[in-house]
């Protein structure tokens, strides 16, 4: 099994990034079977169209004893929140980590729709966080307008929203 790759192989558009570096073989329990923990951590919804990002971030959150749900699109995320965070539900998603750049419905539109539903009390409140490497003022403003409370930028976090 090949565990290394060149930068050019990684950048190639035909590259199946879900099998990059043999990750599924190295860490099969994170992706295939949920880990059982004695005390459940917070329920988190992770929204990204890139399976490699979903795999990596989910793996980190599961190791922190979080209960992680995943969605690959904004519309799927809205459906999951609508069914999980309905009024009167006993266990709800507490945090949604949303990718800003997704096809069809981007993270800004997804967060704006979720914020509207929370304002109308159609769903129970949850925190919305943008997962992005962008750090422009326009990006920060789009996050603020869409209802996202925090922006994760590359290796740091900008809490100045």
Per DSSP (E only), the strands in the chain are 43-47, 67-71, 95-99, 127-132, 150-153, 156-158
Predicted model pTM: 0.70
Q: Is 68 helix (H, G, I), strand (E, B) or coil?
A: strand
**Tens-level pLDDT at each residue, the chain (161 residues):** 333 344 444 444 444 444 444 434 334 444 444 444 445 789 999 999 999 999 999 999 999 999 999 999 999 999 999 999 998 888 899 999 999 989 999 999 999 999 999 999 999 999 999 988 777 788 888 888 999 976 665 544 444 44
d(CA 110, CA 105): 7
Sequence spans of domains, the chain: 1-30, 34-158
- In this structure, whether the domain defined by 34-158 belongs to CATH 3.30.470.20 is answered with no
Dihedrals φ, ψ of 125, to 5°? -65, 150
């Amino acid at each position: 099994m090949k565990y290394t790759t060149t930068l050019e192989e990684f950048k190639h558009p035909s590259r199946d990034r879900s099998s990059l570096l043999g990750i599924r073989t190295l860490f099969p329990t994170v992706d295939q079977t949920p880990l059982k923990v004695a005390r459940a951590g917070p329920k988190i919804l992770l929204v990204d169209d890139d399976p490699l990002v979903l795999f990596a971030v989910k793996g980190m959150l599961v190791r922190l004893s979080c209960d992680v749900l995943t969605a690959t699109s904004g519309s799927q995320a809205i459906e999951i929140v609508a069914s999980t965070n309905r009024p009167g539900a006993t266990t709800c998603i507490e945090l949604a980590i949303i990718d800003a750049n997704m096809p069809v419905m981007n993270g800004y539109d997804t967060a704006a729709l979720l914020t509207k539903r929370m304002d109308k009390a159609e769903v129970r409140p949850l925190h919305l966080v943008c997962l992005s490497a962008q750090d422009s003022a326009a990006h920060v403003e789009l996050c603020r307008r869409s209802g996202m409370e925090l922006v994760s930028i590359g290796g740091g976090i900008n809490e100045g929203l």
